[in-house]
Amino acid sequence: MHSLRRVFQLFINSNMRLSICFDHLLPAKFCTDGYRDFALSVIPRYLRDNSVIYDIGGGKNPYMTADLKAKFENCYVIGLDMNKNELLSAPAGIYNKIIVSDISYYEGNKDGDEVICLALLEHVKNVEAGLRGIASCLKRQGYMFMFVPSKNALYARINVMLPERMKRMILFALFSHKRELHGFPAYYDRCTPHDIKRIVPSLGFEVVEEKYYYISSYFSFFFPLYFLWRIYLLVFYWIAKEQAAETFGMVLRKVN
């Protein structure tokens, strides 16, 4: 059994390497790691000293690290998550305060300067209610940073169709390293660039910056499938442009 598992893992690793090599042939915009780019290149440009920052849905993996938090004076980080154990498992000293609540039903005090919401909205049954809860955390002129896996992505469409238990088994068998970060039910309610941009003005937001990303690793375990998916994505992009994005990030400012 151990030897079979080893052969299986070697097979997956070799196909992943082939997938990475193939991506080197594509334009850079189709190869940018969305989460990494948004987290490291976009959000830090907006963070300021003396800020109250809400990390919504970060749980035990908050956006802020000790080193990043140390760069900003008087930075007060509030962790808001529906799972108390997740919040309590976060690295010591990152959260100054924790709030256990479902963001879809939360009514905040409008005291936040920034809200960070990374890979959360796809897990919210009613995205408009979730965005309304987020808006209640922000002061006027406060910023929200959201990173969202798109409902238009092929893996998201498959995710919605498969039974929860089956898709977890497949995901963890192929990508065991994702076990710590994945496994929560995903609904992808209105998780597209078009839908988000349609909803946010009614909640008092304006879009300040948009970033679109066209890569994910879900099909890289089998290169022939990955190759076909890449061709599909290129055609989809030619037809729909940013609506074909696998993931997207937006910076919103609360103007009302």
Alpha-carbon span 235 to 54, nearest angstrom: 38
Alpha-carbon span 180 to 238, nearest angstrom: 35
What band does 6 get if pLDDT is binned at 50, 70 and 90?
confident
For residues 116, 122, 124, 130, the Cα torsion angle rounded to the nearest 10 degrees is 40
Q: What are the tens digits of pLDDT across the range 77-90?
A: 999 999 999 999 99
- What does the domain layout of the chain look like in residue ranges? 2-254
The dotted CATH code for 2-254 is 3.40.50.150
Look over the chain and give the mean of its residue pLDDT values, rounded to a whole number.
92
> In 10 A of CB 75, how many CB atoms?
20
Q: Which residues contact 21 (CB under 8 A, 6 or more apart)?
A: none
Inform me whether the pLDDT recorded for 43 exceeds 70: yes
CA angle 158-163-169, nearest 5°? 90
What is the 8-class DSSP label of residue 162?
A: S
Q: What are the tens digits of pLDDT across the range 154-193?
A: 989 888 776 666 656 655 565 555 545 455 788 999 999 9
Strands (E), the chain: 52-56, 76-81, 97-100, 112-118, 138-149, 205-213, 247-254
Alpha-carbon span 208 to 193, nearest angstrom: 14
Inform me whether the pLDDT recorded for 226 exceeds 90: yes
Give the pLDDT score at 96.
98
Q: What are the tens digits of pLDDT across the range 22-31?
A: 999 999 999 9
Whether residue 183 contacts residue 171, with contact meaning beta carbons closer than 8 Å, is answered with: yes
The distance of Cα 210 from the centroid of its chain, to the nearest Å, equals 14
Give the pLDDT score at 177.
52
Closest CA to 126 of 187, 202, 199: 187
Mean per-residue pLDDT for 56-75? 95
Give the pLDDT score at 98.
98
